[in-house]
Chain A
Amino acid sequence: MTGESNLKRILESAGFAVTAELGPPKGADRHVIENGAKLLGDWVDAINITDNQTAVTRMSSLSACAIVKSMGLDPVLQITARDRNALAIQSDILGASALGIRNVLCLTGDHISMGNHPKSKGVHDIDSIQMVQMVRKMRDEGVFLSGDRITGEKPAVFIGAAENPLAPPPEFRVVRLGKKANAGADFIQTQVIFDVERFRVFMAQVRERKLHEKLAILPGVMPVKSAKVMNYMNTKVPGVRVPDELIQRMQASPDAKAEGVTICVQLIQALKEIEGVRGVHIMAVQWEEVVPEIVERACVRKKQPVGKFA
């Protein structure tokens, strides 16, 4: 599997892709990545490694991706424009490709003031759309952002971007998705979706512009442990809306964790039926151990026939 992106292979063969997020540790222990990757490895097609998520310093995404890759799995290198300028991003893309990392997710990143180094300086040399465009030109045209030519091998990466479909302004989100498609994104992983009906409206706009033919869209889902967390997501996280019915279910359930898993399974099943949805991206945020159960119960992917980590 050194040669190509597993995620790309699944999507190009019209399969339903399952990706999951894994956050690197706030320390130098590689076992954290190995254990997380073992947990997810047999159940997902690719593992996203976050890049200093929520602007908190952690083990670098590139190093954690290299560990995941060395285990024979397919990592997705997340890169934020917050921490790196165009030079650093391009050198990381070359390095990632050399390590056999075949997927990148181009992100703006949470603002630096929200994390554990609020007095540091955010970079923001380029934005996420410009990053997609830059990586696409490196891969397809063999040129850097400056126009200088890449020497020898070009980076072979499958290019992803994010979208927050339900954030304002509602009419513009699909336009922005179109810009990402034009910039050269191959796949999109969205912010967490709880409100399937509203996401359905967004996908109708996507199909109207035929963007689903240019991009593989993987809506994000999240298993939630309590009504409190769900409420937090609903009120505090931009673009995340949770229907009252789901919050009530969490409140009423005697076993909120089990209910959270069930809701996640049902969301995946509902999202899968929407035309243009090509997979799902599970963000378990330090609750990775439930991902196998979610994938199995949602019937979206079987365990690897010969489990690497059985």
Chain B
Amino acid sequence: MIVADQKPLEEILQMLASYKRVLVLGCQSCVAVCMAGGEKEVGIMASAIRLARRQQGRDVEIVEGAAKRQCDDEFNEPFAGTIEKQEAVLSLACGVGVNKLSERFALPILPALNTRFFGEVERQGVWTEVCAGCGQCILHLTGGICPIARCAKNLLNGPCGGVRDDGTCEVKPDLQCAWILIYNRLQQLNRLDYLAEIMPAKDWSADRAGGGPRKRVREDMML
């Protein structure tokens, strides 16, 4: 899922400072699952904003809502009437939702979240980045553990010299070296031979960094 964090309330209040009618709009997919922008978070956010504005002596009218998926016009359309009555929308979706609403509506769409990464649920309350969406998957060669997402240096040919004895990375004490994980996994799969081959330089043109914004088109699915 896409993992996001709420921005500090001060920053959100700053963005909303000049508005008196605001829709706080959540998204019921990824950011609801990672507890950053679902219906429940919308309620807490709206309440916090009302209280803060009341403390400042500057009232605000807040409408609350949550779209099924803000990344798709179809699910934002039911809010169109409400949105048009506001001065601004505070979106609790990932950045995709903010972009999508901005394309559709003429008023300011403000981000309440910092969109972080594609993550797995490591355990309740902990999310970890494991895929970088680089556009050219090599997980079949690395035992299902991605060195692009999980090695701080994007190495493709084994661990650098910065691995500590306990298998953690030089970058952060609690970060497992991706290549130690890959080594152990390939050992388990009896495929250590993969690591003896030189993996060639990565084709970054499939990645955001190399190729710029990406697009996927399915002619056969278009209406």
Contacts and interface: CB of A to CB of B under 8 A. Distances in A.
A touches B in complex, CB < 8 A = yes
Interface of A: 81-82, 86, 108-111, 113-114, 122, 124-130, 133-134, 145, 162-164, 167-169, 172, 175-176, 178-179, 182-183, 191, 238-239
A167 B158 CA distance: 12
Contacts of A238: 161-165, 170
A86 B201 contact: yes
A113 B167 CA distance: 19
7 contacts: A108-B153, A111-B162, A130-B156, A168-B180, A172-B195, A176-B157, A179-B157
Nearest to B183: A169
Contact of B167 (A109, A168, A176): A168
Given A114-B171, A168-B180, A127 B156 contact: yes
Nearest to A163: B161
Contacts of B221: none
B200 interface: yes
Nearest to B154: A124
Nearest to B158: A176
Task: Pick the 10 closest A-B CB pairs, nearest first.
Answer: A164-B161, A124-B154, A129-B157, A130-B201, A127-B155, A108-B160, A126-B201, A111-B171, A176-B158, A124-B153
A145 B204 CA distance: 13
B198 A182 contact: yes
Given A110-B170, A164-B161, A175 B196 contact: yes
Contacts of B195: 172, 175
B43 interface: no
A310 B202 CA distance: 49
A165 B91 CA distance: 51
A160 to B, nearest CB: 14
Given A127-B155, A168-B180, A191-B161, A183 B198 contact: yes
Most B-side CB within 10 Å, residue of A108, A162, A183: A108
B65 interface: no
B200 A130 contact: yes
Given A113-B152, A176-B158, 6 more contacts: A111-B171, A127-B153, A129-B158, A172-B159, A172-B195, A179-B157
Interface in B184-199: 184, 195-196, 198-199
Contacts of A133: 198, 200-201
Nearest to B165: A168
A238 B163 CA distance: 6
A108 B183 contact: no
Nearest to B148: A124
Contacts of A110: 162, 170
B112 to A, nearest CB: 24
Interface string B13-45: 000000000000000000000000000000000
B153 A111 contact: yes
